[in-house]
Chain A
C-alpha cells in the first residue's frame, strides 16, 4: 500500500535523490559518537515546544487583563490543559539545557573547524534565539514573578551605552512594563522568533546534511593514512537510536509535568513592591548574579555597564570562535580554546548555583 503511494509520487517527482540520500547517508562510529545525539534531542524538544505552543495559542489571551485568567483557565478547566501547559514550561527549560549541552559538546570536540564554521555561527544564533524565546515566553502568564523578572531584565538592556534607552523602550513598548510589553513579547514569541528560528534551523540542518557529521580531531589524528572509520547508516540505525532518546525525553517531560507542576503564581500587580529575592530563570541566573556582584563603578565606568559590555563581548567571541581558534585551523591540538571552554562551563555552573543560593537567602521561594 505504502509502495503504491511511493510509486505514484515517483512517477511525478522522481524520488531518486531521496532514495540515494536515504540509502547512503551515514554517521561515523567512534568513542565520542554519543554526543552526536544532542542535536537531534534539541530539535525534538523544539518540535514539542512548537506543538504545545500552538495548542496553548488556542486558549491564551495576550492582554494584561486576561492573560493570567486565560492561563488559569487552561490549567484548571480545559481538558488536559494542565498537561499541555506544564510540558510547554518544562520542555522550554530542557530545550535550553540540551542546547547548551549541544553547544559545549561541539565546542569541546571542535566540530566548528573548517568546513563547518557557518554551522557553528547559525548554531550560536539559534542558542540566542532560544534564550529570547525563554525570556519572552516567561512574561506571558503575567504573574508576579514573571512581571518583575521582565522588569529587571529589560532594565539591564537599558544599561547599554548609547542605544540603551532606545533598546529599553523598544523591548518594553514604552517606559514601563505594561500590557504593551505583553503584546510585544507575545508577537515576538509566537511570530517573529519562530519565523527567524525556522530560517536558521533550516540553514543549520541543511549544512549538517550537506557536510555530514564532524569527526573530532583527536580521533582523526589516531587514524592511519588510508584507514577509514566504521560507519553507521543514518536510516534506520542512527534514526532509531535518536527516536529512543526522544521517547526518553518525552517520558521525562510527562513525569515532570505530573510531579512538579508549574505554579500559577499571583496575578501581576504593577504597584506591588518587588518580591524578595527576585531572580530570573536559571539560564540567565549566572549573568544576573555577576551583574549584582559588580561594584558600582569600575575605573570610573558604571559597573552594570561594564558587565553588560563584558557579556556582549563574550557573546561576540562565542559567535566567532571558528575564526578565532587559529591553533585548530592550523591542525594543531587547540588547547587554548579547550581550556577556555572548560573555564566558561565551570564559571557558568558555579555562578548559576551561587545565584540560586543568594536568591534563596534573600527570601525567594525555592
Chain B
C-alpha cells in the first residue's frame, strides 16, 4: 500500500503506524515486566522464612552450652542471656539490667549474673542479690527441641 493510497483511505502512513505500534508494544511489555517482576520476587519466600517473632527465638544448641556458663543472644532488638547452671539447668533472662540498661553477663567464678556498669548482682533466678538494680531480671521460658544430642534451645516470652 503506497503512501498516497493510505492517505486517501484516511489510514495513517503504514511506516509511522508500525513505529507507533512498536513503541506501544515496547511500552506495554516494559510496564508489564515492571509489574510482573516485583510480583515474582515477592512470591519467592525470603531467606528468613518467618517473621523474627517478638515472641520466640532459637537461642543456641544445648551441646554448645557448657554447665556453669552463659552466653548473650539476640531477642528482637534487645539482648538476652542464656545461662546453663552448674547443675545443668538451662535458663534464659533479659540481659538488660534493670538499673540503667547495661548488658549483664554471667560470672562463672561466683555462678551469678553480674552487671559491669555499677556492680549489680543477680542470682540464677534473676533476683537482685546486691547493688543498684531495683527489679529482678525478666525471665523467659526455655524449651528444648529436636533429637537428643542435637537439641535446640528455644526461648520465648512468657
* Residues on A facing B (Cβ under 8 Å): 55, 58, 61, 65-66, 69-70, 72-73, 77-81, 83-84, 247, 250, 267
Contact = CB atoms under 8 A, between A and B. Distances in A.
Contacts of B41: 79-80
Contacts of A65: 55
A79 B51 contact: no
Interface string B102-134: 000000000000000000000000000000000
B31 A70 contact: no
B42 A77 contact: no
Interface string B40-56: 01111010101111110
B52 A69 contact: yes
23 contacts: A55-B39, A55-B42, A58-B43, A66-B53, A69-B51, A69-B53, A69-B54, A70-B51, A73-B50, A73-B51, A73-B52, A77-B46, A77-B48, A78-B42, A79-B42, A79-B46, A80-B38, A80-B39, A80-B41, A83-B38, A84-B38, A84-B42, A247-B31
A72 B51 contact: yes
B42 A81 contact: yes
Contacts of A70: 51
Nearest to A70: B51
Contacts of B42: 55, 78-81, 84
Contacts of A66: 51, 53, 55
Chain B interface extent, by class: 10 to 19
Contacts of B44: 79
A80 B42 CA distance: 6
Contacts of A84: 38-39, 42
A84 to B, nearest CB: 6
Nearest to A58: B43
Given A77-B51, A84-B39, 5 more contacts: A61-B51, A73-B50, A78-B42, A78-B46, A81-B42
Max chain B C-beta neighbours (<10 A), residue from A70, A73, A247, A267: A73
Contacts of A78: 42, 46
Contacts of A77: 46, 48, 51
B53 to A, nearest CB: 6
Nearest to B27: A247
Interface in B8-51: 31, 38-39, 41-44, 46, 48, 50-51
Nearest 4 pairs between A and B by C-beta? A73-B51, A80-B38, A79-B41, A69-B51
A83 B80 CA distance: 33
Contacts of A247: 31
Nearest to B51: A73
A58 B46 CA distance: 13
Interface string B50-65: 1111110000000000
Contacts of B31: 247, 250
A88 to B, nearest CB: 12
Contacts of B52: 69, 73
A55 B38 CA distance: 11
A203 B31 CA distance: 31
A206 B143 CA distance: 59
Q: Output the residue of B31, B50, B51, B54 with the most chain A CB within 10 A.
A: B51
A84 B42 CA distance: 9
Interface string B61-89: 00000000000000000000000000000
B35 to A, nearest CB: 8
A70 B42 CA distance: 14
A80 B51 CA distance: 16
A78 B48 CA distance: 9
A73 B54 CA distance: 11
Interface hub of B44, B46, B53, B55 (most chain A Cβ within 10 A): B46
